[in-house]
Amino acid sequence: MSFHSGFVCILGRPNAGKSTLLNALVGEKLAIISPKPQTTRNRILGIINVPKQKSRDAGQIVLIDTPGVHRPDTSLGRQMMSDVREAMSGCDLILMIVDAKKKWDATDTFLFDLVKKTATPVFLLLNKIDLLADKRDLLPLITQFQALRDFKEIIPISALKKTGLDELLQCVLQALPKAPAQFPEDQITDQPLRFMAAELIREHILMQVREEVPHAVSVMVEQYEEGKTLTRIAATIFCDRNSQKSILVGKGGQMLKKIGTHARLDIEKLVGTKVFLELFVKVQPGWRESRQFVEELDWRRRAGL
Ligand SMILES: Nc1nc2c(ncn2[C@@H]2O[C@H](COP(=O)(O)OP(=O)(O)OP(=O)(O)O)[C@@H](O)[C@H]2O)c(=O)[nH]1
Ligand SMILES: [Mg+2]
């Protein structure tokens, strides 16, 4: 019996289901999810310990969820794509995930070009198969993708319905080198709680407000005080324009209150104490274009990692 371990990068265009897959495989909500593209802005680590089972090998899989691959046109976009490249460069395996229902376009060409030169093995995951009325539609898709690249495996899955994930985990484990675990067995991520709290606030903004506002929003936790029974958090929601601030605050502060209440309940589940959450909204024109501001949002950079 062998023990396998390594880094696995989840790669794909925005909205393909990368974060849904990360959460499903780890069995915990580590990444926020939304129907809007470019939800994830930083790479997110998720650690899975696979126990020894009868004839099966054991191991530790370190998954890295990444921002959706796109052609960046802002500092924020460039930082997101640099996170993607960072995740790809040190990994042992790439899981390239595509939406089985979506028609091929220029973003897919860009995505395939990105993996063209890599010597790292690539699995192709055809996701969202729960949306296919006829599973026979998968065959022409598989043939089409096989012509583009020599994928080590092609696996149809539904990250949402958790279909095909056992097979995927086994294939991933076998593709990883024989090596000892890289992280302690009780660790499932490297994200600080204050960053996860900021992300949960952003998730509720993504759910509650529409159109361009979610993309114009970032959240920074300014104060985070852990107590035995109460965690005090103060966070600022940054947006681009006054009109967006009005939407985020809402009539008589109703929208901000709604976002705060939902986010607080989720953060309480995460930290395991009651939470006192204070939210502020600030207009920071053009923040997505400011490299300095974007770097400040990046917890790894702030922690000097
Ligand atoms: N029907 C169906 N929907 C899915 C599946 N996987 C993900 N989704 C949905 O697709 C949308 C995007 O999912 P995410 O996991 O946020 O996608 P992502 O690739 O992380 O997106 P970005 O972070 O923006 O790059 C959400 O509405 C998910 O519920 C699936 O297997 N089936
Ligand atoms: Mg995501």
Three-class SS state of 138: helix
Is 107 touching ligand 1 by the criterion CB < 6 Å? no
Is 72 touching ligand 1 by the criterion CB < 6 Å? no
Same CATH topology for 3-175 and 193-302?
Answer: no
Give, in words, the CATH class of 3-175.
alpha beta
Is 12 touching ligand 1 by the criterion CB < 6 Å? yes
Percent of the chain clearing pLDDT 90 (strictly above) = 90
Q: What is the dihedral of CA 192, 193, 195, 198, to 10 degrees?
A: 180
pLDDT over 80 (residue 184): yes
| Residues flanking ion ligand 2, Cβ below 5 Å | 18-19, 39-40
Distance CA 153, CA 168 (A): 9
Q: What is the pTM assigned to this prediction?
A: 0.97
Phi, psi of 158 (to 5 degrees): -130, 110
All structural domains of the chain with their residue ranges: 3-175, 193-302
Ligand number nearest to the C-alpha of 44: 2
- Per-residue pLDDT, averaged over 286-292, amounts to 97
Ligand 1 centroid, distance to 243 Cα (angstroms) = 29
Of 3.20.20.70, 3.30.300.20, 3.40.50.720, 3.40.605.10, the CATH number of 193-302 is 3.30.300.20
DSSP 163: B
Ligand number nearest to the C-alpha of 131: 1
Is 218 touching ligand 1 by the criterion CB < 6 Å? no
Per-residue pLDDT tens over the stretch 211-244: 889 999 999 999 999 999 999 999 999 999 999 9
The answer to whether residues 238 and 282 touch, using CB atoms and an 8 Å cutoff, is: yes
pLDDT over 80 (residue 253): yes
Identify the band that residue 209 occupies on the pLDDT scale cut at 50, 70 and 90: very high
pLDDT over 80 (residue 287): yes
